[in-house]
Amino acid sequence: MLINTMKKINIYKKKILIRLDLNVPMKNNKITSDERIKSSLNTIKIALQNKSKIIILSHLGRPTEGKFKKKYSLLPIVKYLRKKFKKTIIHFKKNIYEEIKINYGEILIFENVRFNVGEKNNDKKLSKRYASLCDVFIMDAFGTAHRKESSTYGVGFFSKISCAGPLLMSEIKSLQKSIKNPKRPLITILGGSKISTKFNILKSLCKISDTVIVGGGIANTFLAIKNNIGNSIYEKNFIKLAKKLKKKYNIIIPIDSKVKQTNINEIKYIFKKSNTIQKNDEIMDIGKKSIKKIEKIIKKSKTIIWNGPVGVFESSEFRDGTKRIAYSISKNKKAFSIAGGGDTLAVINMFNLKNKISYISTGGGAFLEFIEKKTLPAINMLKKKYLKKINV
Active site residues: 36, 194, 342, 365
3-class DSSP state of 2 = coil
Which residue pairs, CB below 8 angstroms and at least 24 apart, start in 239-246? 241/199, 242/195, 245/202, 245/203, 245/206, 246/222
Nearest to 131 by CA among 120, 122, 144: 122
Provide the strand spans (E) within the chain.
15-19, 26-27, 30-31, 53-57, 90-93, 107-110, 136-139, 161-164, 186-190, 211-214, 251-252, 256-262, 267-273, 281-286, 303-307, 336-340, 359-361
Gap between the terminal Cα atoms of the chain: 19
3-class DSSP state of 305 = strand
Residues contacting 27, CB < 8 A, separation 6+: none
3-class DSSP state of 63 = coil
